[in-house]
Amino acid sequence: MYIYTVKISADMEQSPKKLQQRFHEAIKRNHYALKTEKTYWHWIRRFILFNNKVHPEKLTKSDVERYLTHLAVKRLVSPATQNIALNALLFLYQKVLGRELEGIRAQRAKPKEKIPVVLTHAEVSQLLSQLNGHYQLMACLMYGAGLRLSECLRLRIEALNFEQMTITVRRGKGGKDRVTILPPNLIETLRVQAEKVRLIHAQDRAEGFGEASMPPALYRKYPHVAKSYYWQYLFPSPNRAIDPMTGRIKRHHLLEKGLQRAVRKAGVQAGIHKHVTCHTLRHSFATHLLQNGTDLRTIQELLGHEDIKTTQIYTHVLGMHGSGVASPLTAINLSTMMSTTPDSPPGTAPYRDSR
């Protein structure tokens, strides 16, 4: 059961503005990411539709509990998804509506432990061979450094350290930084990509632009850094666009959908009969490291997992949870009793060679 207490300051003002506008202003006021805003509004909208479009101000704690239980029981969402929905509603009531919700109780979603899809070395090679250009380089980084899709897209020039052979991941999952490995066979390709970024940035500066997006607090402290070369994205968008958070024209990174589509298509073209996604490459990175003898603690640090239990799932992929255990069937001599000729399908005559 969920039990949460949310305290609201008494001086929070009630605005007559539309709910979505009030929500947007609260997001900016609390410096939440644009992706978080989209995710939270998605769940708030579903909550409103679930309650027949009744305004949240007219709903009660029991309505919130009923919706969260519906997600777990009827929609069969994962615990992580249910938590996101809960956080969205807590944000709505606390930061937007200025209401206190005490002791929210809802039936928990049942945890589902899934064995991740992992590619073999040969399948990774086949997949990469079907990609080209920056999509191939990004796929190499996700597999070779264990990067998440968003982490790969958000890499900046300053993240690459060719001397120490490392990649610094800034503001990864949970807002944490970490250092992972830089594959040595990507050095030359990365240098070429970095030079392309330099030329694009020089052209932007010449035309009066050249800013990259930055975390709000960092931008306020170091506004000049946004126009520096080393802060530019490693995989910049081909077009400049208005930053929705600041209203200024900047050059963002490539979109997630393009890379996702490219990897899925490459999996099909490579003839890989598995559900191949960008995250499959990260799973394969961890599994292959474990297969090569890298200890779990090191893999945990490279992946940025907060809990070692999350990393331990890869021992199940390799069957290492049963390491040293022999099947009792090995004690039985099967060579004298098993036929190598396949059985005929039911209802058909045995196969006979008529030659």
Quick one: which of 116, 160, 146, 179 has its CA closest to 313?
116
Q: Are strands 160-161 and 166-169 parallel, antiparallel or unpaired?
A: antiparallel
305 is catalytic: yes
Q: For this structure, is 191 an active site residue?
A: no
Q: Is 351 a catalytic residue?
A: no
- Which class for 352: exposed (0-12), middle (13-18), buried (19 or more C-beta within 10 A)? exposed
Cα 350 → chain centroid = 53
Three-state DSSP class for residue 161: strand
Tokens at 228, concatenated: 């520096």
Give the whole-angstrom CA distance, residue 158 versus residue 229: 9
Half-sphere exposure of 345 (CA within 13 A, CB side): 1
The DSSP bridge partners found for residue 207 are: none
- The catalytic position among 154, 250, 282, 288 is 282
Question: How much is the CA Rg of the chain, to the nearest whole Å?
Answer: 26
Do 82 and 108 contact (CB within 8 A), yes or no? yes
Residue 52: phi and psi, rounded to 5, are 55, 40
Q: Which two tokens stand for residue 124?
A: 């990774």
Catalytic residue among 173, 178, 196, 316: 173
148 given a catalytic annotation: yes
Q: Pairing relation of β-strands 166-169 and 178-181?
A: antiparallel
> Residue type for 88, please?
A
Choose among 122, 127, 167, 121: nearest CA to 287.
121
Evaluate whether 259 touches 153 at the Cβ level (below 8 Å). Answer: yes
Contact 156, 232 (CB under 8 A): yes
**Per annotation, catalytic residue among 93, 95, 135, 148:** 148
282 catalytic per annotation: yes
* Cβ contact 176:304 at 8 Å: yes
Catalytic residues: 148, 173, 279, 282, 305, 314
